[in-house]
Homo-oligomer: A and B are copies of this chain.
Amino acid sequence: MHETAHLLLALFVIFVAAQVGAEIAQRLKLPGVVGEITAGCIIGPSALGWLASAEIAVGTPLDMLAEIGVVLLLFSVGLETRLDDLRKVGRSAFLVGTLGVIMPFVLGALWAHGSGFDWVRSMFVAAAFVATSAGITARVLQELGVLNQIESRVILGAAVIDDILAMLLLGVVTSLQGGKGVDLTSLALVLLQATGFVFVIALVGTRVMRARGYWLNRPINPLSPLTIALAICLGLAWLSTEFGLAAIIGAFLAGMIASEIPQREELEHQMQPLLALLTPFFFVLTGAKIDLSVFNSTAALTMLGIVTLIAIVSKLIGGGLGALSLGRRSALIVGIGMVPRGEVGIVIASLGLTAGVFSNDIYAVIVAMSLLTSVVTPPLLSMMFKRAGRNASKAN
């Protein structure tokens, strides 16, 4: 009984901290996720200590709840991603997405290797530089009311491609990390296995869903499309770990497959309460795992500055170059729009910490970098769109 009571208190504290943090962040015009992570920092072991380190370690009930939260989050991101949309978005989006992955990856790997990591670890660190947070970008664009403008479409299309490339990259890097010895044959096998899994699930799954999606209505359960989709999500999340990929990749694929059924909007709608309950545990625990004492040193603060600068500049260059055909100002807007890292970068950092690849220092720095990029983007994007709007009005 006492154990249950203690756990309920922890659930309550985490959940309320997340709500308060998100509310304050949003009143300050920042994404809610920034507030949830900050709340985690504050109530975590390195500040108030309302959560103990042992309570949030891997395999604990709270950690599993966080894991379920992030699995559901990536499932819902997948739900907003259709295979066809990837084909429809033009050359610009593809260029922006690809260059926006390559630049941060290369610059990140160079920096990490320069800081003394071996190449495999450097690639893991670099992978955390890559993924644009489609969620944060989309939320900002929506708030500005510019979702129908060409830059927004390119950003969103590119963010999708970016996400998938980042997932692939993460899968490959995780496998490499797991394999340790870099034997070329096994490397090829690992790569083939991982990409094979992704492509088979994406292509076959999508077709099956299109052709047989009505099967999801057959069960008596009135919530049936949701329950079957959740079963697929949990199943693929587990299966992808069997293929050496992260659980969230399977969850993302499950979402992308499920987006093919006619009840897709209903599913997205039904996912909202699930995300509202469970994702706060992921973000608060993310924040709670940051060892704030790391930032007591000038060295760490310098590292944070450099990492954040690399993260911003690499996306500006990569994204901007890809969108140059739209004109300079639009290219700049697109570049800025690609800057925010969020969930995925933090997820990769968490994986790195769990796998023992990242030290507490580099974990704290990467999570802080994700925070900073998310904090910097909204006002910049807002400024650029307003200026562009004024010029456009003048031109009319």
Chain A interfacial positions (CB closer than 8 Å to B): 1, 3-5, 7-9, 11-12, 15-16, 19, 22-23, 26-27, 32, 58-61, 63-65, 67-68, 71, 219-221, 223, 226-228, 230-231, 234-235, 237-238, 241-242, 247, 270-274, 276-277, 354-355
Contacts and interface: CB of A to CB of B under 8 A. Distances in A.
Contacts of A274: 273-274, 277
26 contacts: A1-B354, A3-B58, A4-B67, A5-B238, A7-B64, A8-B234, A8-B237, A8-B238, A12-B235, A12-B238, A15-B227, A15-B231, A19-B219, A19-B221, A22-B221, A23-B220, A23-B221, A26-B220, A27-B220, A32-B221, A65-B65, A221-B276, A226-B276, A227-B276, A270-B272, A273-B273
Given A12-B235, A16-B235, A235-B12, A276 B61 contact: no
Nearest to A267: B273
A23 B234 contact: no
B3 A59 contact: yes
Chain A: interface secondary structure?
Answer: helix
Q: Pick the 8 closest A-B CB pairs, nearest first.
A: A61-B64, A5-B241, A8-B238, A12-B234, A26-B220, A270-B273, A223-B276, A61-B61
A68 B272 CA distance: 18
Contacts of A4: 58-59, 64, 67, 241, 247
Copy total for this chain: 2
B7 A231 contact: no
Contact of A247 (B5, B67, B219, B223): B5
Between A8, A219, A274, the greatest number of chain B beta carbons within 10 A of the residue's beta carbon is seen for: A8
Given A220-B27, A276-B226, A234 B61 contact: no
Nearest to A24: B220
A365 B338 CA distance: 60
Given A4-B64, A23-B220, 14 more contacts: A4-B59, A4-B67, A7-B59, A7-B64, A8-B67, A8-B237, A8-B247, A12-B234, A15-B234, A19-B228, A23-B219, A26-B221, A61-B64, A273-B273
A239 to B, nearest CB: 9
Nearest to A68: B11
Contacts of A26: 220-221
Between A59, A231, A277, the greatest number of chain B beta carbons within 10 A of the residue's beta carbon is seen for: A277
A41 to B, nearest CB: 20
Contacts of A64: 4, 7, 61, 64-65
Contacts of A223: 272-273, 276
B59 A241 contact: no
Contacts of A238: 5, 8-9, 11-12
Contacts of A354: 1
Given A19-B231, A26-B221, A241 B8 contact: yes
A187 B228 CA distance: 49
A45 B5 CA distance: 26
Contacts of A15: 227, 230-231, 234
